[in-house]
Amino acid sequence: MRKEKGMEVAAFLCYTGRKRDSMDKYAMIIRWSDEDGCYVTEVPELPGCMADGNTREEAIKNTEDVIRVWLESEEEDATETI
């Protein structure tokens, strides 16, 4: 985990569902938002992929869920255009 100006940058493995044993690694930026009163995360590699949580752990779990949904949606969109 690397900290930069109030932000933490973490990498984690996420099961994507594409292959039963497949894991992909994504960087996640975690920061505390005074304005929102919670931790906010974003995944730079996946445009618009963001989540939040009252605790750091909750924000990470929510981000894992959002990544799965983002990837499933992207996969469905690709299938529909074929």
| Arithmetic mean of pLDDT, 13-20 | 53
- DSSP states along 52-80: EESSHHHHHHHHHHHHHHHHHHHHHHHHH
To the question of pTM greater than 0.85 for the whole model, the response is: no
Interval 37-62: pLDDT, tens:
999 999 999 999 999 999 999 999 99
Residue 74 has a pLDDT of 78
